[in-house]
């Protein structure tokens, strides 16, 4: 049975005119458990951002450290004051704490009720009302299955469109209906959160009257991808290097012309190159029997790095799926959306074809290392091997 993996994603839009978001998402992965906190500071701007940041940091750190949830919530409630005018807490929050088997809990304090997606259909979780220091906190016990998703949100979601397209904003049933329409099988947590946030932004005509954040956690199967970037310095080690690259992993990707040639030779086949590409900035891809994806090297990876920065931005609401068939887009779909674990096999041989060009081994290594760092920020498990 393929092991399960916990992935998360979130996206935000700021209150119109504000540089800082009054919502904050914090996530910590410890062993086989993930803790995600979405905090919503009262109001907007700097004050709301500071309060939401404090709330999310305190809760996420304490809960991931194994401290009892009641004690964690008491600490936050006692640490943050209550607004003298409105009589409400300065920060609300939703907490997801779950392990890879899908067992865990959800705690909610004054945020909109989370949405549970099971078998592609939105529903409600059973909730138990608790009283902690005079505050109503709701607990839901989780027993998630493969491809189940928990979607949490700030109140900017249910207020979307107020004073613009809608008189009173979305109600919760309409939000669920929207998710039922747009969520497709296999869609990542980041993609789901982005689609819902984008819909809220559309309802506000790109001028949100409140900070709006959606954060999701999804239980999914592991998918391990091996990526070979360049041949080893010692040519006599080519076969050993390729054997290690091919020895495990669910998908194999080769980046670079020389790498493609030595892999094809090892597999006793040829590289079949395509003549066209969907993006003029990215060279055409190739095909090797037994390899899932074959691309050019540094230029494609450089474009992939740009796509990774865009993918990571919580304020970028463009779709997180890739329809283009150029090498960088195909790599992005494989590594950002599909992969859970990524191994880079980085050969440090100097490519003679790059002589006279502003491309050297240092640049390639820097691109790969930055890509690896960005993939880790996406929640992937990344390893680097150098030869």
Residues 213 and 323 in one domain: no
Residues 162 and 280 in one domain: no
- CA-based radius of gyration for the chain: 23
Residues 102 and 150 in one domain: yes
Residue 318, exposed/middle/buried by CB under 10 A (0-12, 13-18, 19+)? exposed
Residues 353 and 281 in one domain: yes
Each residue of 51-103: pLDDT tens digit? Answer: 899 999 999 999 999 898 889 988 887 777 666 655 555 789 999 999 999 99
Residues 208 and 293 in one domain: no
Phi/psi for 175 (5° steps) reads -65, -45
Residues 177 and 228 in one domain: no
Q: Look at residue 371 in the predicted model and tell me its pLDDT.
A: 97
Do 31 and 337 touch, CB atoms closer than 8 A? Answer: no
> How many structural domains comprise the chain?
2
Q: Which of 165, 191, 220 delimits the end of a domain?
A: 220
Q: Which domain holds residue 244?
A: 224-386
Do 138 and 40 touch, CB atoms closer than 8 A? Answer: no
Do 367 and 327 touch, CB atoms closer than 8 A? Answer: no
Residues 53 and 168 in one domain: yes
Distance from CA of residue 226 to its chain's centroid? 19
Q: Which of 220, 247, 264 delimits the end of a domain?
A: 220
* Helix H or strand E encompassing 45: helix 45-64
Residues 279 and 311 in one domain: yes
Tokens of 131: 């009283």
- Give the CATH number, domain containing residue 40: 3.60.40.10
Q: What global pTM score does this model have? A: 0.90
Each residue of 186-233: pLDDT tens digit? Answer: 999 999 999 999 999 999 888 898 999 999 999 999 999 999 998 888
Place of tokens 């979601």: 157
Residues 180 and 237 in one domain: no
Q: Which of 220, 253, 270 delimits the end of a domain?
A: 220
Place of tokens 């003549």: 275
Residues 156 and 183 in one domain: yes
* Helix H or strand E encompassing 36: strand 33-41
Place of tokens 């907490």: 95
**Length of the chain counted residue by residue:** 387
Do 111 and 93 touch, CB atoms closer than 8 A? Answer: yes
- What is the pairing mode between strands 224-229 and 341-346? parallel
Q: Look at residue 259 in the predicted model and tell me its pLDDT.
A: 92
Whole-angstrom Cα distance, residue 189 to residue 204?
Answer: 23
Could you say which residues of the chain have pLDDT below 70? 1-2, 81-89, 163-164, 166-167, 169, 350-361
Residues 264 and 314 in one domain: yes
Residues 247 and 176 in one domain: no
């Amino acid at each position: 049975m393929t092991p399960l993996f916990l992935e998360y994603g979130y996206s935000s839009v700021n209150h119109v005119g504000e540089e800082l978001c009054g919502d904050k998402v914090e996530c910590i992965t410890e062993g086989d458990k993930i803790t995600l906190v979405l905090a919503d500071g009262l109001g907007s701007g700097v004050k709301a951002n500071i309060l939401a940041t404090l709330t999310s940091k305190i809760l996420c750190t304490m809960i991931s450290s194994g401290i009892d949830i009641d004690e964690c919530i008491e600490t936050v409630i006692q640490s943050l004051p209550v607004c003298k005018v409105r009589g409400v807490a300065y920060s609300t929050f939703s907490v997801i704490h779950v392990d890879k088997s899908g067992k865990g809990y959800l705690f909610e304090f004054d945020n909109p009720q989370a949405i549970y997606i099971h078998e592609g259909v939105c529903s409600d979780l059973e909730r138990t009302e608790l009283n902690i220091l005079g505050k109503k906190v709701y607990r839901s016990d989780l027993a998630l299955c493969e491809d189940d998703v928990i979607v949490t949100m700030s109140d900017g979601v249910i207020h979307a469109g107020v004073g613009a397209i809608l008189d009173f904003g979305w109600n919760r049933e309409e939000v669920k209906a929207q998710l039922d329409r747009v969520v497709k099988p296999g869609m990542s947590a980041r993609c789901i959160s982005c689609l819902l946030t984008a819909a809220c932004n559309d309802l506000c005509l790109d001028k949100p009257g409140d900070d709006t954040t959606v954060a999701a956690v999804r239980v999914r199967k592991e998918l391990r991808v091996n990526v070979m970037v360049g041949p080893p310095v010692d040519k006599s080690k080519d076969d050993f290097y390729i054997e290690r690259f091919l020895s495990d992993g669910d998908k194999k990707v080769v980046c670079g012309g020389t790498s493609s040639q030595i892999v094809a030779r090892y597999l006793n086949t040829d590289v079949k190159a395509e003549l066209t590409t969907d993006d003029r900035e990215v060279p055409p891809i190739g095909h090797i029997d037994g390899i899932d994806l074959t691309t050019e090297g540094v230029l494609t990876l450089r474009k992939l790095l740009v796509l990774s920065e865009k993918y990571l931005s919580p304020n970028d609401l463009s779709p997180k799926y890739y329809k283009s068939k150029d090498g960088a887009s195909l790599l992005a779909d494989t590594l950002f959306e599909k992969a859970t674990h990524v191994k880079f096999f980085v050969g440090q041989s100097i490519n003679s074809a790059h002589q006279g060009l502003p491309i050297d081994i240092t640049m390639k290594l820097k691109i790969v290392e930055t890509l690896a760092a960005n993939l880790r920020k996406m929640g992937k498990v990344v390893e680097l091997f150098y030869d």
